[in-house]
Structure 1
């Protein structure tokens, strides 16, 4: 199997796992189980996201796509930054439930947009 296919599948798998872990942590908070913050579920998403980022950067070396040249990839980078910020607010315990729900929805919408751009790679 080529390096591209290995990196692509690693990137897709870790991206999917990122969403699953984020949704799981949101769900645990929503049902009143904040104890996850004292388990490996607190740091496992960070390890996964590090692998995700490493795979994304590695893909840049084996493909012709470049941020700030290909619009869809640039949009993904900005959406990723937005997702990180929204995710921080969604999981912050010092905020009230309404603010956290809005932040969680905003984060999930950005993730959906990132996935859409990854699949369609529109030219703009």
Structure 2
């Protein structure tokens, strides 16, 4: 059985890889880089994000903390859905570089919010510093 500590480290590593990879793909999208078409660039985000989600679910089960019962996890889940939507718009769906850049900034802001919620274990995340 996987230990909680191992899962936590796996999760954090995948968060770093996922965020850095998304940021890099966003920059490549804005500069029309041919790197976006490389197979490893197209496949690796799916592998990393699957490990990220799997480790999150395993940690939730091991700790008996679930969204809709732990407010900070509910906030992370809501943030994740917004991040996915903004990310899809940034990398594929929005028309024009200006709109894609705006969605990229929005997605990265939501990503930072999700990380801050996890670090602070508060649904306000970094917004708590503004209040």
RMSD: 1.7
Find the aligned partners of 2:123 and 2:95 in 1 and give their Cα distance: 39
Segment drifting more, 2-11 vs 31-40: 31-40
Instruction: Tell me what 1:106 maps to.
Output: 106
Instruction: Tell me what 2:69 maps to.
Output: 69
Instruction: Tell me what 2:25 maps to.
Output: 25
TM superposition shift of 1:123:
6.7
TM-score, normalised relative to structure 2: 0.87
Find the aligned partners of 1:40 and 1:92 in 2 and give their Cα distance: 18
Taking structure 1 as reference, are residues 4 and 102 closer, same or farther at Cα in structure 2, changes over 3 Å only? same
Unaligned 5+ residue runs, structure 2?
A: 125-131
TM-score, normalised relative to structure 1: 0.91
Question: Are 1:96 and 2:108 counterparts?
Answer: no
Instruction: Tell me what 2:115 maps to.
Output: 115
Find the aligned partners of 1:122 and 1:57 in 2 and give their Cα distance: 19
Aligned length: 123
